Amino acid sequence: MANPHSWRRVVAWALLLALSLGALTGCWDDKSLDTRTLVLAMGFYPARQPGEVAVYFAVPTPAGLTSDSGSSSSGGASGPPLIILQGVGHSIGQAFSAAQASTNRDLYLGHTVFLLFSTKLSPFMLRRLVNALDRIGTLDKTPFVAATSAPFAAVLGTIPQEHFPPLYYEELFSCTTCQQLMLGVRFWQMSDRLWTPGVDLVLPVLKPTRQGPAVDEVALYRNTRYVATLTPKETTAYGIAAGRSRKTSLFFPRLWDANLDFVADKARVSTEVVHGRLQATLAIHATATLESIATATETAGQVARISRRAARLLADEAAAFVRLSQRDDVDALGFGRALAWAQPQVFARYRHWHRVYPHLTVAVRASITVNRLGDLR
């Protein structure tokens, strides 16, 4: 893994790009660079008054822009790297105006890289927020998004400066059980899931801890309603079922102490009508490397037995998540979406998919290809 870049470097590149664009076009929305404040992160929380939302804007200070993490040089500015502005209103526009009134610079959303949504937001408010963010022309649609039950300042305060959220989610989203899962979600993906019938929203959960931010859980939503936060173990099962596992270790003490490492999987969901009944299939295929075995050398028969055992284990993990998601009535894998794509006329008959999904028959199948010792493929 490459060394993570400082988030300040991200800001520096953004500023250089902005200057280059200004030089090329001769103007930049009729605003000079020194009158703008770049908003790096935004947080959305329920306000005290019903129907209002509190929006937080994290902006870099001169110290944050000029000093490097851990630098002790005397030439840089001192102070906190970020300040947080707050605005409250019935809409993002009102909240933005309230926060704008607290600074003499124009808040600019064109370089926002992180959006944080409180799990305490009402379904109605979350829908309004996503609709509004979709319509903000200066806001890029690629910021990473996450959910949290913690205050905005507490979350940002635990993020190391060299691991600002986008880099953290992209490179270091891993469970406490040492499973690496590619579960980062960007805003356009969040929006797409919310407005696509037959699939529900899943967001990574960010928790502040003394050791830094913990990102080993995901939150499940039914439409825009927050339902539950999965445990790290359940999150690993979701990663396997969704085809997002990138570094999973499996140990089989009863099979020659065999250890499989670097398990990566792909998953495919299909749903169809068979003899008048809905049936769904989750097919998983994984690849792994035989990291070690007690016999020092392996035979074809040993590899076959290990492969079968690993496939059963992956299938059991994925099936456990499917049962959990049906219990909570959250179609996180998109079985309904698969039916809508394959047979849109059939899917249209099920006007309330969430009444159907908990009773859907799902078959889970898994296979695994094991590379032998020393095979670097």
pLDDT digits (tens, 9 = 90+) for 340-364: 998 899 899 888 999 999 999 999 9
- What is the pLDDT confidence band of residue 25, given thresholds at 50, 70 and 90? very low
Distance CA 284, CA 311 (A): 9
What are the helix (H) ranges across the chain? 7-25, 62-66, 92-100, 123-135, 152-157, 165-172, 187-195, 232-241, 300-328, 335-342, 344-349, 353-356
The mean pLDDT of the chain is: 80
Say if CB 69 and CB 8 are below 8 A apart.
Answer: yes
* Tens of pLDDT, residues 282-322: 999 998 888 888 887 888 888 888 899 999 999 999 999 99
| Strand locations in 168-224 (E) | 180-181, 185-186, 202-209, 212-222
Instruction: State the DSSP code for 153.
Output: H
- What is the pLDDT confidence band of residue 20, given thresholds at 50, 70 and 90? very low
Q: In angstroms, how far is CA 280 from the centroid of its own chain?
A: 26
Distance CA 48, CA 59 (A): 24
Angle at 350 between CA 344 and CA 353, to 5 degrees: 105
Distance CA 98, CA 53 (A): 12
- The residue assigned the tokens 């999904």 is 357
User: Tell me, what amino acid is at 78?
Assistant: S
Q: How many helices (H) and strands (E) does the chain have?
A: 12, 16
User: Tell me, what amino acid is at 351?
Assistant: R
Distance CA 323, CA 358 (A): 8
More confident residue, 324 or 293: 324
Lowest-pLDDT range of 65-79, 136-150, 280-294? 65-79
- The residue assigned the tokens 């893994």 is 1
Predicted structure pTM score: 0.80
Q: HSE-up of 67 (CA within 13 Å, CB side)?
A: 20
**Structural domains in the chain?**
1-9+37-66+79-229 (no CATH), 232-377 (3.30.300.210)
Say if CB 257 and CB 293 are below 8 A apart.
Answer: yes
Q: HSE-up of 353 (CA within 13 Å, CB side)?
A: 22
Per 3-state DSSP, what percentage of the chain is helix, strand, and coil (rounded to 5)?
Answer: 35, 30, 35
Distance CA 87, CA 47 (A): 10
What's residue 37's pLDDT?
A: 80
Distance CA 44, CA 128 (A): 11
Q: Determine if residue 83 is left, alpha or beta; phi over 0 gives left, psi from -120 to 50 gives alpha, anything else beta.
A: beta
More confident residue, 70 or 123: 123
* Tens of pLDDT, residues 105-143: 888 888 888 899 999 999 999 999 999 999 988 888 888
> In this prediction, what percent of the chain has a pLDDT beyond 70?
77
What's residue 1's pLDDT?
A: 42
User: Which residues touch 110 (CB under 8 Å, ≥6 apart)?
Assistant: 38, 138, 139, 140
User: Which residues touch 58 (CB under 8 Å, ≥6 apart)?
Assistant: 39, 40, 41, 42, 43, 82, 83, 84, 152, 156
User: Which residues touch 156 (CB under 8 Å, ≥6 apart)?
Assistant: 41, 58, 82, 84
Distance CA 113, CA 186 (A): 9
249: three-class secondary structure by DSSP? strand
- What is the pLDDT confidence band of residue 281, given thresholds at 50, 70 and 90? very high
Say if CB 54 and CB 86 are below 8 A apart.
Answer: yes
* Mean pLDDT value of segment 6-20: 42
Q: In angstroms, how far is CA 88 from the centroid of its own chain?
A: 26
Instruction: State the DSSP code for 232.
Output: H
Distance CA 249, CA 180 (A): 9
